[in-house]
Structure 1
Amino acid sequence: MAAAAFPPFMDGGGPVSAMLVAKLLLGAGHELLVVNVADEAKEEVYDGVPVRRLETLNLYWNYRVPRPAWKKAAWHALENFNPRAFLAMRREIARFKPDLVLTDSIENVNVATWGAARAAGIPICHILRSTFLLCWKGSMMRGGENCAGACGSCKATSIGKKAMSRLVDGVVGETDFIIARHVDAGYFSNAETRRIPGVVPRLAADAPRPAPEGRPLRVGFIGVHTPMKGPHVLADAARSLAGSGKAEFLIAGSGQDAYADGLMDRFPKAETRFLGWSDPDAFFPQIDVLVVPSLFQEPFGRVIVEAFAHAVPVIGARSGGIAETIEDGFNGYAVPPGDVAALATRIGELADAPEKVAALSAGALSSARRYLPPILSAAYTDFFDRLVRRADVAPDLAAGNARR
């Protein structure tokens, strides 16, 4: 399993998702080695997962440290095919002798991994986590607006990625949205696709929440405080409800610029608590409903299923793959992205009908069961087995019969 990022190096939800998939596969009885890139070479067992960290294969390791523009441009050029990555990953594949090469996102480990696997005759499956293959920024946004498709500069800096994607046998997307975004752009022309959503390791709640009687509705946001995540939309909705006594707002997470600093002034002070970084297991029990107001077209939206696992319903923007997870009136509501009035209306409706909050909580907890390890490990095993058999390698990868 070649992973673009892996814990403890956390920058967004990708590393968490990669770790959960690794544990899912190990728990199903498969032998697995994670290979990823860091600032120095190291072999370790991290939280039960065997990991081989390679010293950066590109010009630098793109983890948080700012780089000059010329160096970024060279880094992105090499991401279209890095000969050094090809040689390194060919060595790792020859050393481990896998039945299948799984890439979990692809930056850093490079699309050359696909070439190395193909040269070794090993079938390849790729998990889509972002739009990095389409857009050098990985966001498909420009000037604060979502792009309908790849712009000229993104197409020019992704030619090699698109060409290399023809080598991939199978593609997993956590939503139909993220799969279609790539396939419609001409990527993965020879691959079979499968929607397998993100996993939640356990149900964190034993039962649905009781109706929030006799107090304001507790509305939460957790995440990075950036414009693309839309906390300002929630702030404006909160201001429109200020003084009504209907709701109070718990805001978890942080940011590092003037936008993040300004959020404190944008929310109504008397009805808002800023919590800073918060452990989700400590945060979710404090709220009645989570708001996910993303303006960015989310490939999945892991925080939604995490909320469901805590029996917390979600009001989410209908952005990207979010709408595939939220079922209106069952586990939450989807509203148009950026629509302050629609968001405020939904919050007000739930504040006025606490019994509806309890019903949505039951729906959220029921929905969370779809994302538990036994269901998703079976989905991955079935798909991997299909890819290996299609490649005429044919070991039985069913759980319990995996190569050890």
Structure 2
Amino acid sequence: MKILMVNTLFYPHVFGGAEKSVQLLSQGLADQGHEVVVVSVAPARDVKYVGGLKVYYLPPHNIYWGGMFGRAGRLKKLLWHLGDIFNPGIYRELSGIADRERPDIIHTHMLTGLSAAPWVIARRRGIPVVHTLREYSLICESATMFRDNTNCSGQCRACGAFTALKKYLCNHGTIKHVVGLSNFIIARHLQQGYFKGVPYSRVFNGIEVPTTPSRLLPGLAGPVKILYLGRIERGKGVWEILEAAQQMAGIELYLGGRVLDDEIREKIKQQKYPAHIQFLGFIDPQEILDQIDVVIVPSRWHEPFGRVVIEAYQYGKPVIASHRGGLPEIVIEGKTGFLYNPDHVQELLAILKRLTTDPGLIPALHSHIAEHLQQFDNNHIARQYEQIYQSVIKHDIN
């Protein structure tokens, strides 16, 4: 089977978990004998082979590359979004790729920067499309449904205008199967009127599961070492964990990621945080995960999945996570970690107190993780997608 894998970004342009997940899935499918061709957006046009995968990098055909989005002003962002409703340049180049590669199926993921062009191309050529929901860009122009430190209850008028074409294509036969990383993200799209009558499935992100179970390293007699990985900003729940950490003895909090919150950045400059709170800057998770005891994912927004959770499991680390979005579907309360309401810091403090006063708790959580991790095995995830592709093609032929 020949699969055209389409995502906003691809290696080496890795800004988050989606790029890692799409690459792992593509490689997993290739390992099972399928031919996978990848299309993404990059600063300049190129064709390269990455881990045996043929990758087309398309220029943005917009006023700037999406990877620079955070540095653009308000007017430029508005113009960029208008250009991303339907991008003729992307349509022209991707049409040529589709005609040249002749895929059996097009699998789309994040379409920011690619516009609705991949779906229009598939529709006009009769190529079936499977789409994976990794964020909320089909509903919300910021892709988060989170504004002013609050989760949006529905779609605003502006976002409705920007996403109208994609919504139309979702509901008029273009998408043959939709996949969500969580039941939560599927339900959120269905509630907003997307994918009417389209079959859907939940398929988790994949990870390379260690061939030998991770061992719990000694040294838990000292402070409990807690790690946060991600953007350091309000929507990620960082304020709340900083507040809790300043009230707790017996822990060390390490934060790895870019500081995007101005107030936190100023406090770091003025050295207002105590010594047991350390900001590490951007860091590769593999450099630190084996040195800590627990990972925390405190998101205030409705995180669709939370790749850092399974990266923690990969190292045998339990996870403390907010009860938001898809996180409760992958963090099992009392087995692989704990869940709390991010609106109530006292719930987080109670969990931290348990970890610091019960020396047997972390080893007990660790013992459940290896078994739980198997459902995220990348080969298993690739086989699930293979079954979806086969059912879509069979239905399309009939």
TM-score, structure 2 normalization: 0.92
**Structure 2 letter corresponding to 1:75:** W
Contact 1:134 1:154 in 2 (8 A): yes
Contact 2:58 2:90 in 1 (8 A): no
* Pairing 1:83–2:88 present: yes
Which residue does 2:72 correspond to in 1? 67
**Structure 2 letter corresponding to 1:303:** V
Distance 2:267 2:328 in 1: 26
Superposed CA deviations along residues 91-146 of structure 1, whole A, max 9, x for unmatched, are 21111011000112111222121111111111001111110111111111111111
Compared CA separation, residues 159 and 176, structure 1 to 2 (3 A):
same
Q: 1:259 aligns with which of 254, 259, 263?
A: 263
* Pairing 1:50–2:73 present: no
Contact 2:60 2:90 in 1 (8 A): no
Distance 2:17 2:378 in 1: 18
Which residue does 1:196 correspond to in 2? 203
Q: 1:170 aligns with which of 162, 177, 183?
A: 177
Distance 1:375 1:73 in 2: 41
RMSD of aligned Cα (Å): 2.0
Q: SS in structure 2 opposite 1:63?
A: helix
1:305-384 counterparts in 2 under 5 A? Answer: 305-384=310-389
Contact 2:87 2:114 in 1 (8 A): no
Contact 1:79 1:161 in 2 (8 A): no
* Pairing 1:296–2:311 present: no
TM-score, structure 1 normalization: 0.91
Contact 2:259 2:281 in 1 (8 A): no
Q: SS in structure 2 opposite 1:43?
A: strand
1:4-403 counterparts in 2 under 5 A? Answer: 4-64=8-68, 66-166=71-171, 167-203=174-210, 206-209=213-216, 213-241=220-248, 244=249, 246-262=250-266, 264=268, 268-392=273-397
Distance 1:59 1:177 in 2: 34
Contact 1:80 1:157 in 2 (8 A): yes
Distance 2:358 2:215 in 1: 16
Contact 1:208 1:365 in 2 (8 A): no
**Structure 2 letter corresponding to 1:197:** F
Contact 1:254 1:260 in 2 (8 A): no
Instruction: Count residues with an aligned counterpart.
Output: 390
Deviation at 1:74, TM superposition (A): 2.8
Q: SS in structure 1 opposite 2:58?
A: strand
Q: Percent identity?
A: 29
Contact 1:168 1:190 in 2 (8 A): no
Compared CA separation, residues 231 and 120, structure 1 to 2 (3 A):
same
Compared CA separation, residues 232 and 263, structure 1 to 2 (3 A):
farther
Distance 2:234 2:207 in 1: 27
Q: SS in structure 1 opposite 2:68?
A: coil
Q: SS in structure 1 opposite 2:19?
A: helix
**Structure 1 letter corresponding to 2:163:** S
Q: SS in structure 2 opposite 1:285?
A: helix
Distance 1:373 1:347 in 2: 32
Q: SS in structure 2 opposite 1:171?
A: strand
Name stretches of at least 5 consecutive residues in structure 2 with no aligned partner: none
The more displaced of 81-90 and 349-358 is: 81-90
Distance 2:112 2:281 in 1: 29
Distance 2:307 2:284 in 1: 15
Deviation at 1:358, TM superposition (A): 0.4
Contact 1:221 1:250 in 2 (8 A): yes
